[in-house]
A and B are shown apart, each in its own frame.
Chain A
């Protein structure tokens, strides 16, 4: 030690109060590094608000939900309940109720009755914890279309007009033309004269193309007919989004923006629990409600009773009666996807 002191003294590197250029540069470099460390650590930590960042270790490494044992399912659900409760500051339940025996859900929508008020859209957003802003995700889309002349007696007559899009066969006039910019229509009053409204959502196909293309089998059809997604197993490849012939799937390009005060704390693992960035989502027939014997939020909120929901296996159910008695339409029957969502007229 004394040798070192001597050496320093002999060397006379710096005067006590004066700094050499080397020292100055060294201090400047360490100062910059410290600032960078603080900034970097801050940058990494600020990401912790995202739902994905809050996922626990166990959540990252859990199995596909279908392959879990009952015990593992319980653990997974408990983990999620804890996380959502902390994240949103309210007691959140994650239901894992499986499909009931003897149930096959079906849905029917009266196209004549729909007034295009879009209450169903907003009820769905609220019930199913969809992202509110950037992006504003909606599982139900209501298209505003021109009525045209849609008479059954003209179905097999004449030729379509050259302009416009024909819906409903060879009607003499254009029908069902969606006008550019009319996807987010906001009239003072609905229904508007000369227009009809066409709500679209997941058709819960019995032979779903989205399920066929999923490379990791995270999406599948449950025995009660609902096509579900295990969000934790989804790799975000968007194959299902591309495969769906009804454009019913939505993709979380960014972390969903779900304000804590608007979050619905009654959730289902396969349904409306908060999603994360990079996963697909879609209508699940409000699985958290329907598996408890309740109607979907859109059925409940519809002011004109255009939406009907029930068990297709029950001959006395409303949806079966509609299938038997009403004029029922299906979209894209040629695809053989066997949707369980029907459009009908009185």
Chain B
């Protein structure tokens, strides 16, 4: 490559660089590429997070339930006498008639 060729190469590169940002095609192309890149990144991030941060749903469910079992098992039964039963029914009917109660 002689000196003349070198000069022409650098000239062409300068021309290209100057022309790209101003053309509509260049702008649209960049916008599309950026959009696609964002979509791709989001998709890959989603899939990666799903794989890496996969939760053990069964364990989470049992954490909710088993603690309750122990507490419930420790509660007292309350034997209701006749008056209490009547009072309970009366209250239930009252609440039923009045939803705001």
Contact = CB atoms under 8 A, between A and B. Distances in A.
Interface string B69-100: 11111111111100001001101110110010
B47 A7 contact: no
A206 B96 contact: yes
A180 B37 CA distance: 52
Query: Which of A8, A223, A247 neighbours the largest number of chain B CB atoms within 10 Å of its CB?
Result: A247
A143 B72 contact: yes
A39 B44 CA distance: 7
A247 B74 contact: no
Interface string B15-41: 100000000000000000100110111
A323 B12 contact: no
Contacts of A42: 43
B99 to A, nearest CB: 7
A141 B64 CA distance: 12
Given A12-B9, A253-B57, A40 B75 contact: no
Contacts of A324: 85
Nearest to B43: A40
A23 B85 CA distance: 87
B42 to A, nearest CB: 7
Contact of B36 (A33, A145, A168, A178): A33
Nearest to A323: B85
B34 to A, nearest CB: 11
B77 A168 contact: yes
Interface stretch (A68-76, A77-85, A130-138, A301-309): A130-138
A36 B77 contact: no
| Majority secondary structure, B binding face | helix
A13 B12 contact: yes
A interface bracket (residues with beta carbon within 8 Å of B): 35 or more
Interface string B36-73: 11011111101100000001111011101111111111
A167 B69 CA distance: 14
A165 B58 contact: no
A213 interface: no
Contacts of A165: 73-74
B92 A104 contact: yes
A37 B77 contact: no
Contacts of A21: none
A225 B96 contact: yes
A8 B13 CA distance: 10
A13 B56 CA distance: 57
A163 interface: no
A145 B74 CA distance: 10
A152 B77 CA distance: 12
Interface string A329-346: 111110000101001000
The 8 A-B residue pairs with the shortest CB-CB distance in the complex, in nearest-first order: A247-B68, A40-B43, A40-B40, A135-B61, A43-B47, A11-B12, A178-B73, A254-B57
25 contacts: A8-B12, A13-B12, A36-B37, A41-B43, A44-B43, A47-B46, A104-B96, A106-B92, A134-B58, A143-B72, A145-B73, A165-B73, A177-B73, A200-B69, A200-B72, A206-B92, A223-B96, A223-B99, A247-B65, A251-B61, A254-B55, A312-B89, A329-B78, A331-B76, A343-B77
Interface of A: 7-8, 10-13, 33, 36-37, 39-44, 46-47, 104, 106, 134-137, 141, 143, 145, 152, 155, 165-169, 176-178, 183, 198, 200, 206-207, 221, 223, 225, 241, 246-247, 250-251, 253-254, 312-313, 323-324, 327-333, 338, 340, 343
